[in-house]
A and B are shown apart, each in its own frame.
Chain A
Amino acid sequence: MEHGPDLRKIAHLSRLYLTDAELDRFSAQINQILHYIQKLGEVETAKVEPMIYPHELERQQLREDEVRENAETVSRSVLECAPEEFHDNFKVPQVLGLAE
């Protein structure tokens, strides 16, 4: 890359709020790391299949969709972790109607 990535845009995609000082600091560091990563361009990979998992998964890992626990107990235990809940829903601030 000739120019560093647009960090403000990346921060927005990542939903990370960064201060101006952080933007400057991360910009320099990330450019340095990306410069190092350029070396991958030296490797010939035209006929190489990308690897996602290190071993071929042994078989298609499907199983019967069986209920193993009491649904209400599980729901309750999950909702108890929520910062805010409302009638068995996760409550969040306003979603629509505000400019991003």
Chain B
Amino acid sequence: MILDLQKKLKEKKISSVELTKIFLKRIHEDDTNSFITLNEEEALKTAQQADGEREKNGGSSSPLFGIPIAVKDVLCTKGLRTTCGSRILENYVPPYDATVVERLKKNKMPILGKLNMDEFAMGSSNENSAFGPVRNPCNLDHVPGGSSGGSAAAVRAALAPLSLGTDTGGSVRLPAAYTGVVGLKPTYGRVSRFGLVAYASSLDQVGPMSVTVQDSAALLQAIAGHDILDATSSQKPVADYARDAGNYKQKKFKIGLPKEYFVGGLQSEVQSMLEEVKRQLAKSGHEFIEVSLPHTDYAVAVYYIVAVSEASSNLSRFDGVRFGKRVPANSLVEMYERTRALFGEEVKRRILLGSFALSAGYYDAYYKKACQVRRLIQQDFQKAFEAVDVILSPVSPTTAFRLGEKNQDPLQMYLNDIFTIPVNLAGLPALSVPVGKDAQGLPIGLQWIGKPFQESQILQAGQWIEKEFYFEMPKGFDV
């Protein structure tokens, strides 16, 4: 889709400014609440610069040059409010850009605005934002998934052709599946986390969200690669994801199906869609092999110790001292406590859990134990990948649920992430691709899981589905 837009830009059928104005107009008319902050003036300035450069010297050869994008509000954007969906950062304006944002700006991509999200990326439904829930464009009474709900809904509702989300336990892949768009979580370390407000530092990754697999490949290519400002970013060379995705037909896969993922509990249409995809892929010459991931059942428990422990440490910086809101008080400690009372419920719950898991007397039984089981979960995948190239699984047991349906029972909400969490724990790349809809018209997504740094393979696998099995262009992209 981006290539079509780029062609129109090159042929002067439309300008970056005109394109940006079209999306900005749609955003003003939006009823999904996908955006927290708009960036109209700057976006149009960037679009003008892109048009100017294109006029002068043809612009750059990147397929992303001058294409508008929107960015999850957990990524720092210099001079542009960054709230992380939280009251505590309601008026925070970062003095610097995240590395991924710098890389977008290098491509003169107009940044339309900052996207709504679960507060500090903690949530699976985008009902935890201090700026109101995001609504699923496919059915406004349903959640779009979270925590990158705004990032997914914006693409689905044609408010932006591309977006960046972040994924710590499924927060790109789940909303992608719930809204019927493509979402990719890179290998841990593939994309810089500098300027990404940290939730769980050993799990967080920035990921592209788009209408097509090819578009996510192009966006990943632009943001991936080593960053001297992120000590956990990998120096491994970045493959030509766009080229590799285009060559998908040359590749036939050995596809693993984890037997522990199919023990019941799937919505019947998710199950039957998976069966249909399996049939079609087998007809195309791919091979299916049953694999075992024996520690699957422990993944959610591991995550809700590891992630919350890291979060309790990462969020200790929000204390009213150097940035963000400050609630006035007579003493320093009271200022900390009253300021931090501004956090939403889910954030407070996770900080409490994390502080407990790390506290004296409980550290070994909880945090250390969880880290040990985490290694076993990674080893499960390593063993499975000895026999297969990629693994296919559902993204979620169900399609998007109704607003308010699950947010009274935290544990029930956590169990939704059973298929996405293990991927983050093991640091693997994974891609969510739409494969159809349920009887209510709600999208169903499936997940391709790959070996470390094999994003090309999962993009190719995603192409097999999109090109040969199912694709639906969301309404509104015929500009």
Q: A50-B368, A77-B95 are in contact. Are A40 and B351 (CB under 8 A)?
A: no
| CB-based nearest A residue for B348 | A16
Give Cα A80 to B78, complex, Å: 13
Q: Is the CB of B325 within 8 A of A55?
A: no
Q: A37-B304, A39-B301 are in contact. Are A80 and B95 (CB under 8 A)?
A: yes
Count how many chain B residues have C-beta atoms less than 8 Å from C-beta atoms of the other chain. 75
Q: Is the CB of B304 within 8 A of A93?
A: no
Q: Is the CB of B375 within 8 A of A49?
A: yes
| CB neighbours of B302 from chain A (8 A) | 40
Query: 1/0 per residue A5-28: CB within 8 Å of B?
Result: 101001101111110001000100
Secondary structure at chain A's binding surface: helix, strand, loop or mixed?
A: loop
Contact of A48 among B228, B320, B372 (CB under 8 A): B372
Q: Is the CB of A98 within 8 A of B330?
A: yes
Looking at the assembled complex, report how far the CB atom of A28 sits from the nearest CB atom of chain B, in whole angstroms. Answer: 10
| CB-based nearest B residue for A42 | B298
Give Cα A63 to B429, complex, Å: 28
Looking at the assembled complex, report how far the CB atom of A27 sits from the nearest CB atom of chain B, in whole angstroms. Answer: 10
Give Cα A45 to B26, complex, Å: 54
Looking at the assembled complex, report how far the CB atom of B102 sits from the nearest CB atom of chain A, in whole angstroms. Answer: 13
Q: Is the CB of A90 within 8 A of B352?
A: no
| CB neighbours of B332 from chain A (8 A) | 92-95
| CB neighbours of B474 from chain A (8 A) | none
Looking at the assembled complex, report how far the CB atom of A21 sits from the nearest CB atom of chain B, in whole angstroms. Answer: 11
Q: A7-B352, A17-B338 are in contact. Are A94 and B331 (CB under 8 A)?
A: yes
Contact of A50 among B234, B297, B372, B411 (CB under 8 A): B372
| CB-based nearest A residue for B423 | A54
Which residues of B pack against A, CB within 8 Å?
A: 92-96, 187-189, 202, 228, 231-232, 234-236, 295, 297-298, 300-302, 304-305, 312, 316, 319-326, 328-338, 340-341, 343, 348-349, 351-353, 355-356, 359, 362, 366, 368-376, 378, 410-411, 414, 425-428, 452
Can you show 8 pairs from A to B with CB atoms below 8 A apart? A13-B355, A29-B411, A36-B411, A43-B295, A53-B427, A77-B95, A82-B321, A98-B330
Which residues of A pack against B, CB within 8 Å?
A: 5, 7, 10-11, 13-18, 22, 26, 29-30, 32-34, 36-37, 39-43, 45, 48-55, 57-59, 61, 63, 74, 77-78, 80-84, 90, 92-95, 98, 100
